[in-house]
Amino acid sequence: MGTRCEGLRDSLSPIAYYEEYSHFRLDCLKIDDNKELSMSANEDLAKERARCDFNVSEITNILDGGIERTKQRKKIESIALSNGKCCDVTPEETLGPKERYENAIRKSCLYTKIVKDQVLTLTGLEVLGSNSSVLRRTADAFFKDISPFLLHLGMFVPTIMGQGTPEQQSYWLPRALDFQIIGTYAQTELGHGTFIRGLETTATYDPDTEEFVIHSPRLTSYKWWAGGLGKTSNYCIVVAQLYTQGKCYGIHPFIVQIRDEDTHMPLPGVRVGEIGPRMGFNTADNGFLGFDHYRIPRNHMLMKNSQVLKDGTYVKVASHSKLTYGTMVFVRVMLVNEVAFNLAKAATIAVRYSAVRRQSEKISGEPEPQIIDYVTQQHKLFVCIATAHALQLSSNWLWKTFSAVLADMRGGNTENLPELHALSSCLKALSTSDSAALIEQCRLACGGHGYMLSSNLPLLYSFVTATRTYEGDYTVLLLQTARFLIKAWEQAESGNPVTPTVSYMEEAVVGNKYKWNGSAEGIIKAAYYVAAGKISSSVTSIRKRMKNGKAFEDAWELTGVQLVAAAEAHCRAVICDVYRKETVRLTANSSPNVKTVMDQLNMLYLSHWALERTGDLLRYTSTTEDDIISCQQRYEELLAAIRPNAVGLVDAFDFPDEILQSTLGAYDGRVYERLMEEALKSPLNAEPVNRSFHQYLKPLMQGKL
């Protein structure tokens, strides 16, 4: 048998090798009839489910947005998952970079076909609206890492929808939605990502030919990072500085064809490639792109917000100068949902594993407890479940806010855009940062096995930690929110009305100190007072610095640390508030036990953040040490109260095993069996002796090197 394994690699292509190898890997290790690889479900998990005291599907329905939406999701999931070809023959993480990419394209095409042929007939174009999060979630059954098509659906299509004229939309959208063309969003350059007014790619209008000339004047102007750009896309949105009639009008979006539609060869004047290995996103062929005086037709400029006429005249159409930033706002809103979903996956994996895993002795001589019975483990994990709920409900609320502002803007009213920008910026910043930190906490909570790629926790982390950077870095976005908050504070100080999400300032500017009470509403009010205190301190610092002779910009810059903290505190208060109100609203007609457990989770979240911010509470409110002690006690009581329902709570996220893709988190709890099954798929186990033994080890050991 050994001989068969050894010769295999040389005679087959890598993928064929893996497929073939998977059939007789057990032969190689001679444990094909090993009785320890039990097929029966873990008993501890079964007991956990038996002791859960609430109706799991009721919470599933709440999180999905109602029973009908749960049914629809399950229907879409079952269509996609019943197609067995989504499974990898060998784990994608054991493939080399090229094979991994090729496999991701194979699976993306397969998934696209299923969506086009079977899901679209079920849902129509709704698949892009309210069902897009279901599509996104189901896609994880196909990809452990990222689909190279993500940017096509996540940014290319939305940019055409948001920035194109009706004529442009009717030309481009049918082609894009039918996947006749595949696009991406190329904004960031080697030299600039955050400061987009500083982008260097130029689009210069030539009225003689009615074309734009796209050019990359220097290395730092090369587009860098766009997902799917390196090898997959044949079109992209390029964001470039628009020049016409000798004047620069700032950055604008253009649709640019970069590859031949038939041969897929890069077109003359286009230099495109992949940027090399990254911490994550390794199946998404993030790319670079440069242009050498490359010409595109005039009507490839997306002209909903501004136009260049045939003679080169520039016409501003939009009523707000930042509407070209619309795709970024849209994606920031979407990302809150995206990270809530990924955190829910990590929490499911870590909680189920913690119910299966037994370690150490609480009392000498007694059976080893399930690790979920350690209060420190509950402290690590239950806040992850609560945060997933908080972010899911906040994301639904943000989506409604976004839709309302969008509807206003369609009628020409951009009055609420600054508030939407401030909200979407800070919610994107906090949700991505919290989720990345808590996914890592879930990984750590799983000890050594959490470090295995087959647990899926490392990949979840490497994907989610990138969300903190892309679509606007954490600090940069919180500073955007701070701009809005400082202006609102000044308005409140001068007695002018402020917008709803900052209405707490009207009461706080008077200077009262808030007296703590441990109720949910009390903690939320205290959080708003902390935010107000931090905003007020920032304003004081800026004014003091200006009084000492600094220009406003310098005073702002020097106060940056306080401004970021103020925006963070504001956003935390908003999340606490929305999470509370939505929990009360959504459980109004729920059964008593569902109401109780949802309330417990909500209180846990509020108490957790109060305890994380005791210094702020002592500084900005009248909270006392005794108040903190009782908050701590309440928090610990909540851990104990939630404990019996922990597995039920993660079951309520309702992830099929195909979507979780985790050895530690599968529904049946066969943790050790799955770890071994996955280990046996490692290419290193395909042969009893690796050839490096003969080449290096043996000569070394025998002193013949």
Ligand X SMILES: Cc1cc2nc3c(=O)[nH]c(=O)nc-3n(C[C@H](O)[C@H](O)[C@H](O)COP(=O)(O)OP(=O)(O)OC[C@H]3O[C@@H](n4cnc5c(N)ncnc54)[C@H](O)[C@@H]3O)c2cc1C
Active site residues: 471
Among 9, 49, 106, 483, binds ligand LUOH5OJ7 (CB under 6 A): 483
Interface with ligand LUOH5OJ7 in residues 125-144 (CB under 6 A): 132, 135-136, 139
3-state SS string for 388-453: HHHHHHHHHHHHHHHHHHHHHHHCCCCCCHHHHHHHHHHHHHHHHHHHHHHHHHHHHHCHHHHHCH
8 Å CB contact between 434 and 426? no
H/E stretch holding 254: strand 247-257
Contacted by 154, from ligand LUOH5OJ7, ligand X, none: CB < 5 to 8 Å by type: ligand LUOH5OJ7
Query: Residue 39 CB: number of other CB atoms within 10 A?
Result: 7
Q: Is 324 helix (H, G, I), strand (E, B) or coil?
A: helix
Least Å distance, CB 183 to ligand X, is 11
Give the list of residues 6+ apart from residue 167 with CB closer than 8 angstroms, or none: none
CA-based torsion, 233, 237, 241, 245: positive or negative: positive
Residues 331-350 that bind ligand LUOH5OJ7 (CB under 6 A): 331, 334-335, 338
Nearest approach in angstroms of CB 459 to ligand LUOH5OJ7 is 16
Interface region with ligand LUOH5OJ7, contact rule CB under 6 A, candidates 45-53, 320-328, 351-359, 564-572: 320-328
Q: DSSP for 265-278? A: PBPTTEEEEE----
Contact present, 223 and 251 (Cβ < 8 Å): no
Residue 199 or 642 having the CB closest to ligand LUOH5OJ7: 199
Q: Is 327 assigned to a binding site?
A: no
Nearest approach, Cβ of 322 to ligand X (angstroms)?
Answer: 16
457 binds, among ligand X, ligand LUOH5OJ7, none (CB under 5 to 8 A by kind): none
**Would you say 60 is a known binding-site residue?**
no
Are the C-beta atoms of 224 and 288 separated by less than 8 Å?
yes
Q: Can you list the alpha helix ranges (DSSP code H) found in 12-140?
A: 14-29, 43-51, 56-64, 67-81, 97-114, 120-123, 132-139
CB 176 within 8 A of CB 168: no
User: Out of ligand LUOH5OJ7, ligand X, none, which partner does residue 112 contact, by CB within 5 to 8 A per kind?
Assistant: ligand LUOH5OJ7
- Contact of residue 380 among ligand X, ligand LUOH5OJ7, none (CB under 5-8 Å per partner type): none
520 binds ligand LUOH5OJ7 (CB under 6 A): no
What is the binding site for ligand X (CB under 6 A)?
151, 185-188, 192-194, 225-227, 281, 286, 466, 469-473, 475-476, 479
186 binds, among ligand X, ligand LUOH5OJ7, none (CB under 5 to 8 A by kind): ligand X
- The answer to whether the CB of 684 falls within 8 A of the CB of 90 is no
Q: How far is CA 200 from CA 191, 246, 539, in A?
A: 8, 16, 35
Please provide residue 429's backbone torsions phi and psi, each rounded to the nearest 5 degrees: -65, -50
Q: For residue 418, which of 431, 409, 410 has the smallest C-alpha distance?
A: 409
398 is a contact residue toward ligand LUOH5OJ7 (CB under 6 A): no
Is residue 108 at the binding interface for ligand LUOH5OJ7, with CB under 6 A as the rule?
A: yes
Which range in 72-80, 192-200, 510-518, 651-659 contacts ligand LUOH5OJ7 by CB under 6 A? 192-200
Nearest of 240, 167, 169 to residue 205 by alpha carbon: 240
Q: Counting contacts by CB under 6 A, is residue 183 touching ligand LUOH5OJ7?
A: no
Site of interaction with ligand LUOH5OJ7 (CB under 6 A): 108, 111-112, 115, 132, 135-136, 139, 147, 149-150, 153-155, 185, 187-188, 194-197, 227, 322, 325, 328-329, 331, 334-335, 338, 417-418, 421, 470-472, 476, 480, 483
Annotated binding site for FAD: 188, 227
